[in-house]
Amino acid sequence: AVNMSAHQLREHDLETRIRETLARHALPADMLILEITESVAMDDIEASLKVFDMLDRIGVKLSIDDFGTGYSSLSYLRRLPARQLKIDRSFVRDLDHSADAQAIVEAVVRLSHALGMTVVAEGVETEGQRQVLVKLACDELQGFLFAKPMADSDLRTWMGAQTVPMAPIHLVPA
């Protein structure tokens, strides 16, 4: 996944640059996930929708990052061609001891699944959080419980050293 800023989202040659980058690296478009924060997506919703539709047309996946920290309307969320939603770590932090946090995360997971999106929980740091997220059917987990950010060469070594089967595993860069 690649994070996109508001400035990058508004660049006039964005489609050309993405297509050229995909071709240069022989990367299928559906293997690229562009992460856009909820606040950036909602800043200028009509302009964002045009860009998101273009990304969807060429096959690039869109992920809404830091979900729950902004003021997005559910009607706008429904209009976005996003394939993934990332729950902000502020909701994950209290999961293992707060019924309110669990209720919010459960609602977001159900809503996302109903809209055809996968859900990533950011900031998973404890086994208790992991257990709650698994119980709530969160699709992917990301955080220090699994590993700290690392270079790709270190990732290969780390994955080779894992003794517990990790299938299926979805590595989502921080």
Tens of pLDDT, residue by residue over 14-25, are 999 999 999 999
129 pLDDT band, cuts 50/70/90, is: very high
Question: CB pairs under 8 A, 24+ apart, for 15-24?
Answer: 15/54, 15/58, 18/55, 18/58, 18/60, 19/58
Asked whether residue 43 is domain-assigned, the answer is yes
Single-letter amino acid code for the residue at 134 = V
pLDDT digits (tens, 9 = 90+) for 78-94: 777 888 999 988 889 99
Q: For residue 21, what are the domain limits? A: 2-161
Q: Give me the mean pLDDT over the 127-154 stretch.
A: 90
103 pLDDT band, cuts 50/70/90, is: very high
Asked whether residue 112 is domain-assigned, the answer is yes
Instruction: Indicate the burial class of 145 (C-beta count within 10 angstroms; 0-12, 13-18, 19 or more).
Output: middle
Total structural domains within the chain: 1
What is the per-residue pLDDT for 163? 62
Question: Could you tell me what percent of the chain has a pLDDT over 90?
Answer: 37
CATH code, domain with 115 = 3.20.20.450
Asked whether residue 169 is domain-assigned, the answer is no
The packing angle between helices 45-58 and 14-24, to 10°, is 30
What is the per-residue pLDDT for 93? 93
Q: What is the pTM of this model?
A: 0.75
Asked whether residue 167 is domain-assigned, the answer is no
Residue 67's nearest CA partner among 107, 31, 94 is 107
Asked whether residue 63 is domain-assigned, the answer is yes
What is the per-residue pLDDT for 78? 77
Q: Which residue has the higher pLDDT, 11 or 71?
A: 11
Kindly state the greatest CA–CA separation across the chain.
48
Asked whether residue 73 is domain-assigned, the answer is yes
Residue 133's nearest CA partner among 173, 93, 172, 74 is 93
Asked whether residue 136 is domain-assigned, the answer is yes
What is the per-residue pLDDT for 169? 45
Q: Which residue has the higher pLDDT, 53 or 38?
A: 53
Asked whether residue 172 is domain-assigned, the answer is no
What is the per-residue pLDDT for 73? 60
Adjacent-strand bridge partners of 119: 85
Q: Which residue has the higher pLDDT, 170 or 96?
A: 96
